[in-house]
């Protein structure tokens, strides 16, 4: 929970919805998804850490609780069908039902796995189009050294639902490159790159489309490269993966918005609080040089000032640290790939 919300008399509401998703609101205003992926088939107890400047809390009476539930249900109803205009909805992503015949969907469409003894006809799509400056995270779950070649990544302006109806009888071709070539001949927009190095099991990959149309690709936070250049004037672009060759299974970890909303610091005495960080203001304590850029957004204007626990790597700016904790339940350190239990901001005094 962000520190700015810790104000006296604020009322927080938490609502466990279907499929193990916890929504939350503040003063009856829906703030979106707080947690995802909980096992709601078993009893769940709420726990609260009264931490930092919060000293005392109380549970509201039944009437106030009922009012909060009604406000939440009304808010959810108002957002149905809004698509990407709902920021919390757009922050969620999974794999589309449309896929190659050799692909199995697992774990609520978060994992795709190629069948044993196969090496192609393994194309998969995201459930919704990508958004510029949105970083898409993927983990390689399994590799098979029996096969050569690496996974492919690309984008298409063709809605996978339309593709499903077009290929209902014939199915997708074995070779994804043939599909891309044939559909492009129909004046559809398709781009596919195989310039991804052969991954290892446990590798964390990220993909992001910038406002200039450059598709950035990164492995384990080692530094991004431009994989493709795409035309953003075409319209919505769905991401596609060809789980080909040595890549046997991948998991979609989630997405994170990486907008550059940096504003210049005009006064040295400006307060360095959380709101400033969320707006992109660089912390006053940090020295800006080539060794301090964040390992996730790679913006030199946002120096790394947050340590990943328990591996103790100082590799994230505070904005990315906040989003990492909020949007990616199974996060990994971009330096060493060890699981993240907490991210702590370092302040110099």
Number of domain units in the chain: 3
User: Do 46 and 185 fall into the same domain?
Assistant: no
15-46 pLDDT, tens per residue? 887 777 887 788 777 767 777 778 878 888 88
pLDDT of 125 above 90: yes
Q: What is the pLDDT of residue 40?
A: 78
Decide if 47 contacts 1 (C-beta within 8 A): no
Alpha helical stretches, state H, the chain: 62-79, 87-90, 160-166, 176-185, 274-278, 318-327
User: Do 244 and 110 fall into the same domain?
Assistant: yes
Instruction: Answer whether residue 177 is part of any domain.
Output: yes
Tell whether pTM > 0.75. Answer: no
Instruction: Answer whether residue 164 is part of any domain.
Output: yes
Structure letter (DSSP) for residue 213: S
Phi then psi dihedrals of residue 185, to 5 deg: -65, -20
Closest CA to 247 of 142, 171, 172, 157: 142
Domain that holds residue 300: 274-345
Instruction: Specify the CATH number for the domain of residue 305.
Output: 3.30.40.10
Closest CA to 127 of 256, 247, 240: 240
Q: What is the pLDDT of residue 283?
A: 44
User: Do 82 and 98 fall into the same domain?
Assistant: no
Task: Tell which of 70, 89, 108 closes a domain.
Answer: 89
Instruction: Answer whether residue 289 is part of any domain.
Output: yes
Task: Tell which of 89, 123, 144 closes a domain.
Answer: 89
User: Do 195 and 335 fall into the same domain?
Assistant: no
What's the sign of the alpha-carbon dihedral 295, 296, 298, 304?
A: negative
160-210 pLDDT, tens per residue? 877 765 555 555 666 777 777 777 666 778 888 888 888 888 888 889 998
User: Do 227 and 157 fall into the same domain?
Assistant: yes
Instruction: Answer whether residue 242 is part of any domain.
Output: yes
Task: Tell which of 226, 257, 288 closes a domain.
Answer: 257
Residue 291, C-beta contacts closer than 8 angstroms, at least 6 positions apart:
none
């Amino acid at each position: 929970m962000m520190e700015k919300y810790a104000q006296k008399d604020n009322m927080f509401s938490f609502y466990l919805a279907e499929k193990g998703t916890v929504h939350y609101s503040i003063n009856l205003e829906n703030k979106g998804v707080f947690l995802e992926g909980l096992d709601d088939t078993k009893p769940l107890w709420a726990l609260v850490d009264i931490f930092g400047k919060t000293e005392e809390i109380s549970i509201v009476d039944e009437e106030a609780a009922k009012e909060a539930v009604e406000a939440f249900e009304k808010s959810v109803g108002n957002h149905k069908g809004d698509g990407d205009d709902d920021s919390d909805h757009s922050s969620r992503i999974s794999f589309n039902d449309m896929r190659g015949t050799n692909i199995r969907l697992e774990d609520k469409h978060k994992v795709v796995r190629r069948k044993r003894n196969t090496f192609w006809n393994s194309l998969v799509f995201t459930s919704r189009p990508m958004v510029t400056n949105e970083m898409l995270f993927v983990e390689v779950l399994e590799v098979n050294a029996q096969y050569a070649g690496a996974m492919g990544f690309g984008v298409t302006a063709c809605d996978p639902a339309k593709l499903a109806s077009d290929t209902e009888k014939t199915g997708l071709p074995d070779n994804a490159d043939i599909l891309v070539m044939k559909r492009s001949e129909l004046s559809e927009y398709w781009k596919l790159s195989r310039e991804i190095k052969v991954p290892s099991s446990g590798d964390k990959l990220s993909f992001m489309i910038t406002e200039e149309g450059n598709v950035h690709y990164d492995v384990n936070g080692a530094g991004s490269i431009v994989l493709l250049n795409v035309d953003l004037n075409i319209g919505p672009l769905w991401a596609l993966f060809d789980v080909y060759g040595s890549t046997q299974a991948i998991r979609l970890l989630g997405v994170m918005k990486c907008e550059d909303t940096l504003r210049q610091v005009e006064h040295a005495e400006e307060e360095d609080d959380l709101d400033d960080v969320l707006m992109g203001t660089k912390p006053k304590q940090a020295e800006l040089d080539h060794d301090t850029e964040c390992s996730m957004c790679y913006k030199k204007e946002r120096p790394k000032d947050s340590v990943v626990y328990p591996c103790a790597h100082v590799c994230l700016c505070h904005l990315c640290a906040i989003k990492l904790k909020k949007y990616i339940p199974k996060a990994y350190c971009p330096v060493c790939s060890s699981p993240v239990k907490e991210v702590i901001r370092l302040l110099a005094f």
